[in-house]
Chain A
Amino acid sequence: MIKKKICMLGTSAVGKTSLVRRYVQGFFSEQYLTTIGVKIDKKTVDLDGQALTLVLWDLNGEDPFQRVAASYLRGAAGFLLVADGTRRLTLEGALRLHERLHDALEGVPGVLVLNKADLTASWAIEPARIEALQREGWTVRRTSAKTGMGVEEAFEHLARRLLAP
């Protein structure tokens, strides 16, 4: 069976752990419990008859209290760069983190995930900003770990890219 390591990256409190929980366990919890270090999960998916085990490395959020250790990224086959769509600063923080980890992530496919898409009234990312990121080469997905919207699709999109020849 093919096994691929996927890292969840982003600043703190953007919903990385909730996305993994929604994807692996199928539920959402309102209770926020910050991640210290790394939390490992896995999920086996069937992509067109091919079994693929995704080993999900849910890394602590990058902020003044904790930095993401670049060594955790070794062997990563893909990553989800997660931002909170209701806080514009988390998008810029995620992009800065990606830049800082550039050496470790060079050539590794990733998806930029704008989470909390259920909070439409508080949405803070302008369509023009998303279009600009897409022009820069980012694959952008809107997700809601709370409702499940777009979560499977984001992981599946990345999984398919990992299997692409």
Chain B
Amino acid sequence: MTDIASNGVKSTMQGSSQASDHSEGMNYLQSIPKRVVSLYIPLGIIVTVLLFPFYWMALTAIKPDDQLLDMDKVSPFWTTAPTLKHISKLLFESNYPLWLWNTMFVAVVATVLSIIASVLAAYAIVRLRYKGAQWVGGAIFLAYLVPPSILFIPLATVVFQYGLFNTPYALILTYPTILIPFSTWLLMGYFKTIPYELEECALIDGASRWQILIQIVLPLAVPGLISAFIFCFTLCWNEFIYALTFLQSVDKKTVPVAIVNEFVDGDIYRWGSLMAGALLGSLPLVILYAFFVEHYVSAMTGAVKE
């Protein structure tokens, strides 16, 4: 029963993402040279511009210092003597592994907390439909629109009052304010697609609301949970202003803050290690993204479509 339903939910979702090539039927109306000019060339330019900074980041991270600064001997667009010096310096002679660990710890804990809170809230809003549930749903959407950059000043004093300043808990407790509105909104959309009849059957069989949530709704909402999880994780990893404001000591910082504050000095040879740091800080997210592209896209568009 559960399997059939989950397959149904999955296949409708895949169906919507694969029903894409609408123009296929009319392609014969365009000649190949025209397609090259109107499609491939503009697309090529845009994609190149979008990806060039990453190529440059990666190239700088493996270039030896002399080639970084002398652009006339070897063409700057590639390198003749790739070196792992910058990366090994980063990993073995700096606090970088510690910063990576801090970021990972904060991101995972904040994401898990937010997902638990969001699952409960989304289920209550969509399926319990208590008095005023619609208003609460609207309020959560509004909370999504409150940006961190108008909250960080009062939050800094709140964090200080609660004695959380300069601890990872300052971030673990404040990140959910960014994540919960988003993931609640996303999960509400997923829960709505689960057939109500399944829950009614379970209610008649004597299941409690809690059992229904754990044993019926959550297994069916797994794609939504994955989407919410990786998107929240990315947002946490990306977050800058709270981490910049609430953390002070070098060993507590997260990767984005640490790179901006600790690596940016007057040294002319800093570029190699700076770019290596940026590259290594992005890689975990890019790898995660590579495995879950569809979930990312549905998380991004789902929040807008609802």
A-B interaction: no
